[in-house]
Amino acid sequence: MCDAPRHELLQRQLGVMWRFAEDFIIGHLDLDAMLWEPSGHVCTVRATAEGWVADWPDEETQPLPDVTIAWLLWHIEWWWSDTLARVAGRPGIPPEEHRWSGGTDGIVAAKHAWDELLVDADLDALVPWHLPEPQPVWFIASWVNVELTKNLAEINQLKALRANA
């Protein structure tokens, strides 16, 4: 079966979301905005001697903490890097090992790497991933598109909250 229509669909979906990122996120944030804390109960990233390290929420304790824009950018970088590694047949990247780029450069680089992968990836190849059973690349690519959309919407909401605080 020819994968061209499926590749094009996934790339077009990603393109729509990425246009939003370019229009409202990339180049529209400074470090103060990225590190702004919407409450006293947050997950963020912290500068250390090893680089920017992200908090990881205890998902058993409710309510879950709010997150900063920096944490969301770290999160996009981490899951995209982890997913790229897994799809390429390399080991996944544990969240505690990923260091945030300190801005939006990391998501731009990850997006370009993802674009390259989507050009000719075997969309039916099964990849050991974050679900109990290996998943086809087309499913993972669809998830990446949805997850990116969700994270960008959360970033934009935090931008609005900060502007109105």
What is the per-residue pLDDT across 65-78, written as a single tens digit (0 to 9) for each? Answer: 999 999 999 999 99
Domain range annotation of the chain: 4-163
Q: Which fold has domain 4-163?
A: Four Helix Bundle (Hemerythrin (Met), subunit A) (1.20.120)
Q: Outline where DSSP puts E strands in the chain.
A: 42-43, 45-48, 51-54, 66-67, 126-127, 135-136
Residue 118: pLDDT band by 50, 70, 90 thresholds?
confident
Instruction: Report residue 3's pLDDT band, with 50, 70 and 90 as the boundaries.
Output: low
- Predicted TM-score (pTM) of the model is 0.94
- % of the chain exceeding 70 in pLDDT: 98
pLDDT of residue 73: 98
Whether cis (ω within 30° of 0) applies to the bond prior to 63 is yes
Residues in the chain: 165
b/e 53-90 (16+ beta carbons within 10 angstroms → b): bbbeeeeeeeeebbbbbbbbbbbbbbbbbbbbebbeee
